[in-house]
Amino acid sequence: MPRPIRQTLALAAALFAGLTVLMTTTVASAAADDELQLVRERIANEFDIIQPEDVTPSPIDGWYMIQKGSIVAYVSGDARYLLQGDLIDMDAQVNLTEIARDNARSEMMAALGDDQLITFSPAKVRHSVTVFTDPGCTYCRRLHSQIDEYMAKGIEIRYVLYPRNGPASPDWQKSEQVWCAPDRNRALTAAKLDRQFETKACDASIIQQNYLLGRDVGLSGTPAIVLEDGTLIGGYLPADALAEQLEASEPQASR
C-alpha cells in the first residue's frame, strides 16, 4: 500500500478513536449529571432543610455528599441508601468528612460581621476565635472570668450569644437583655456574674439567628470554641492550652 494512503488511514483511525473517547466521555458526563439531578430531587423532597445545591459529588464513585453547614452525610447514586459517619482516606490517613466540616465552619465564622458579635480584643491580635457562649453555663463563666489571660496571649474572643436551652429558658431572655444593652461587653460580664446591668428594649432577633447558626455549626453544648481553620472545640479550654493549640494549627509559612 502506498505510504500516503497508509498515513491517511492512520490519521482517520486516530480521529475516529478520539471522537469515540469524546462521545463516551460526553455520554458518561450527561449520565452523571442526570443521576445527580435525580438524587438532589429525592433528597430535597425527603428533607425540608436540604436544598438541591446541598448535594454534591463525593470522593467516592457512585455516592454523593449532602452538606448543610457542618452536618455531612452521604447518599448512594440511586438515592436509596443514606449514610452518616466519617469518610476516611486510608492511604492518606485523612478524615475527609472532618475536613468538610472544618471548611464549612470556617466559612460560617468568616461570614459573621462585627455587628453580630460581642468582641474582646487584645492590644495586638495574634489569633481570633469564635466562642458560642451561654450567660448561665458554668464553664462559659469560667472562660470569661479568665478573659484577661486570653488577652495576654493575644487571643481575640468573638462571642456569639447562644442560650443552649432554647427560647423558653431564662438564659434566652438574659441573652436578649445583654444584646440590647448600651455596652454589650460590660453587660455580658455583669450577666456572667449575676449582676444587674443597664438594658432597654430592642430588636434581639439575632439570638434566634445565633441559635440556628449553632445547629449548622454542629454544637452539642457551651462553651464551644471555633478556631480560625474551622476546628471545633467542644468545651472550655484555658488560655495556655488554647494558645498552644492555635500555634500548632497555624500554617508553617505564616509563623
Q: Compute the distance between CA of residue 184 and CA of residue 161 in angstroms, rounded to an integer.
A: 11
Cβ atoms 158, 127 nearer than 8 A = no
Distances (CA, A) of 214 to 96, 159, 160, 223, 229: 22, 12, 9, 11, 17
Tens of pLDDT, residue by residue over 194-221, are 999 999 999 999 999 999 999 999 998 9
Q: How confident is the model at residue 7 (pLDDT cuts 50, 70, 90)?
A: low
Tens of pLDDT, residue by residue over 85-129, are 999 999 999 999 999 999 999 999 999 999 999 999 999 999 999
Cβ atoms 36, 42 nearer than 8 A = no
Separate counts of helices (H) and strands (E) for the chain:
8, 11
pLDDT at 245: 94
pLDDT at 17: 55
Instruction: Report whether pLDDT(49) > 80.
Output: yes
Here the cell at position 90 is 486510608
pLDDT at 28: 43
Q: How confident is the model at residue 255 (pLDDT cuts 50, 70, 90)?
A: very low
Instruction: Report whether pLDDT(24) > 80.
Output: no
Count CB-CB contacts under 10 A for residue 5: 9
The C-alpha torsion from 233 through 236 and 239 to 242, rounded to 10°, is -10
Tens of pLDDT, residue by residue over 129-175, are 999 999 999 999 999 999 999 999 999 999 999 999 999 999 999 99
pLDDT at 9: 52
pLDDT at 250: 73
